[in-house]
Structure 1
Amino acid sequence: MKADMSDLVTLASPDLTVTVSPLGAELQSVTDQQGGEWLWDGDERWWTGRAPILFPTVGALTGGMARFSGREYPMAQHGFARRRTFALVEQLAHAATFRLDDDAESREHYPFAFRLDIAHRLDGATLETVVSVTNRGGAPMPVGVGFHPALRWPLPGTGSLSRGEHIIRFDAEEPEPIRTVVAGGLLGPAAPTPIHADELPLRDSLFDADALVLDRPNSRGLWFGVPDKPGVRVDFAAMPMLGLWTKPGAGYLCVEPWHGHADDESFTGEFADKPGVVTLAPGESHDFAMALTFGVSF
């Protein structure tokens, strides 16, 4: 399903113009005042996504099934919110909030009464996205949430510099092994990290097998770009996991803060027992947040 461009919501600040689609409450563009586009354009030859919100799960599940109280429910990779149309419940010049409530269709996959609010807010060159999940039912509700923004690679403002001159600079050193991705998008064994101290030199071959998954990163923020050129700062203070992904040769890099991740290849347990899953009591709400700051140098 493609976004209807006629329904796009536009947000603006002195530094950025942002468009959002009601389909998935997904960002469609992030443009600076010089006309530079920082977000992937969804070219279907590579990947039609741009910045989907992952709910109520992150990644793939064993057998494509989520298990709640001993019963199995079909659940697509990254959940269903990105394929659903949200209601626009608030719009300001610099901010908008979109809402999705449970219905008969959602309960076929996720048997809970929920409210999902996604708010995008501009403050100068910073775009904050807050995902608020509320348990509207009478039973505990486990949930995973993830962000999946596809940033241009190479970034605007880097001129003729190659993709290989881009790096990620983490806020802390990252010596821990990463997780590999195996058949079906599940997590396999650990592997040595390609990160050198706090820096990851980027190259397409890093993603030959699939995403790089940091299931226990030390950092809660990073910078992506070419040193001494305008780049992107990504802050994810309350998101304990991180994925990095592209299709080799594509013009984007996805920087993905997560609360939850794909099933381990041997996992057959309850959804609530997955690492990173948050269980909300009846009436409880929880916020998941990420902020992107554009045009900042390191």
Structure 2
Amino acid sequence: MNTTISNSTISASIKHAGAELFSLKSNQNKEYIWEGNPDFWGKHSPVLFPIVGTLKNNTYTIEGKEYQLPRHGFARDMEFQLIHKTENSATFSLESTTETLTKYPFEFELQLIYTLKEASLHIGYKVINKSGKKLPFSIGAHPAIALPKNFENYAFEFEKKEVLKYHLLENDLISNKTKVLETTNNIVTLNYKLFENDALIFKTLESKSLSILENSKPYIKVAFEDFPSLGLWTKDQAPFICVEPWLGYSDTAENSGDLFEKEGILVLDNNQTFQSKFSITIL
């Protein structure tokens, strides 16, 4: 099933499977979200929960007991329930099940709240701890922005002038190797060589928004004030770019395996609620 919301400027369509955004269109019917062609990447904008990135050996421990979780967790592969809908907003809910408890021994509710405001789509996350104990988690976004022209016609424009130090991945884990993304007036022209070693992982950024330029003109903006970390990723020759606000990231090779000790993990007290949001604006 799918749900569509709209206003006079834009419309958004969301799959109930994974509560995944798969379309964001202007009122001229121009599409801004990647089509999900599996020849490159069969997703559009998955939610990353209860982890972001990859665990060492895809394994973690809680109180000495081992559990397995796939890259980016399980929420993106589960069916969400539509629990609230208006013309320009929709809220989806996923609650823990006997299946999730075998992978992640915590009772929770995860909500995704999509709201349109003028030319912006706001995507909110709500994590509710129903487990009766502290709940460790990470959460992140993975929207793929469609790039219909040649890849090199596009550029990133960072909100602030800063040293853009990113970490390299080794075997899907965060390494200690870093590089600096060189900019000219906060702008980086896209080329596939930037991503030849997989995603660029920024643990911290001063910028809280990133614009994509098309032929030097504003195309789309992703704002992520609530998210300290960011991933940037595409696949070779793919006509999209992922701008991924994160709270958390992959393990390092030195991780102990204890989820509560994982770098970047969030911990939510019993009966507490966590909220964050980011936005995608058509420029």
TM-score, reference length from structure 1: 0.91
- Contact in 1 for aligned 2:175/2:252 (Cα 8 Å): yes
SS in 2 for 1:77: coil
- Contact in 1 for aligned 2:211/2:218 (Cα 8 Å): no
Unaligned runs of 5+ residues in structure 2 are none
**Counterpart in 2 of 1:287?**
275
Of 145, 154, 159 in structure 2, the residue corresponding to residue 166 of structure 1 is 154
SS in 2 for 1:164: helix
- Contact in 1 for aligned 2:154/2:216 (Cα 8 Å): no
Determine if the alignment matches structure 1 residue 231 to structure 2 residue 231.
no
Determine if the alignment matches structure 1 residue 94 to structure 2 residue 82.
no
Of 2, 21, 25 in structure 1, the residue corresponding to residue 15 of structure 2 is 21
Percent of aligned pairs with the same amino acid: 30
Alpha-carbon distance in 2 for matches of 1:137, 1:254: 33
Determine if the alignment matches structure 1 residue 9 to structure 2 residue 10.
no
Deviation at 1:70, TM superposition (A): 2.0
Please say which of residues 69-78 and 240-249 is displaced more in the overlay: 69-78
- Contact in 1 for aligned 2:56/2:257 (Cα 8 Å): no
Residue identity matched to 2:178:
A
SS in 1 for 2:211: strand
SS in 1 for 2:160: coil
Deviation at 1:189, TM superposition (A): 2.3
TM-score, reference length from structure 2: 0.96
Of 107, 117, 123 in structure 1, the residue corresponding to residue 117 of structure 2 is 123
Deviation at 1:81, TM superposition (A): 0.2
**Counterpart in 2 of 1:247?**
235
Of 132, 137, 141 in structure 1, the residue corresponding to residue 135 of structure 2 is 141
Summarize deviations over 1:213-263 as a string: whole Å, max 9, x none: 101111111111225534111111110000000001001100000000000
**Counterpart in 2 of 1:43?**
37
Alpha-carbon distance in 1 for matches of 2:2, 2:270: 34
- Contact in 1 for aligned 2:82/2:90 (Cα 8 Å): yes
Deviation at 1:288, TM superposition (A): 2.0
Alpha-carbon distance in 2 for matches of 1:68, 1:171: 39
SS in 2 for 1:107: helix
- Contact in 2 for aligned 1:145/1:288 (Cα 8 Å): no
Deviation at 1:102, TM superposition (A): 0.5
Deviation at 1:277, TM superposition (A): 1.5
Determine if the alignment matches structure 1 residue 30 to structure 2 residue 18.
no
Alpha-carbon distance in 2 for matches of 1:176, 1:12: 36
- Contact in 2 for aligned 1:174/1:195 (Cα 8 Å): no
**Counterpart in 1 of 2:62?**
68
Alpha-carbon distance in 2 for matches of 1:195, 1:122: 34
- Number of equivalenced pairs: 282
Of 93, 103, 111 in structure 1, the residue corresponding to residue 97 of structure 2 is 103
Alpha-carbon distance in 2 for matches of 1:51, 1:32: 18
**Counterpart in 2 of 1:81?**
75
Summarize deviations over 1:6-46 as a string: whole Å, max 9, x none: x1101001111111001010001111111211000110111
Summarize deviations over 1:34-60 as a string: whole Å, max 9, x none: 121100011011111100000000000
Please say which of residues 219-228 and 89-98 is displaced more in the overlay: 219-228
Determine if the alignment matches structure 1 residue 221 to structure 2 residue 209.
yes
Unaligned runs of 5+ residues in structure 1 are 1-6, 155-160
SS in 2 for 1:98: strand
**Counterpart in 2 of 1:186?**
173
Moved beyond 4 Å, runs of 4+? none
SS in 2 for 1:168: strand
After superposition, the CA RMSD in angstroms is: 1.3
Alpha-carbon distance in 1 for matches of 2:70, 2:34: 23
Determine if the alignment matches structure 1 residue 196 to structure 2 residue 183.
yes
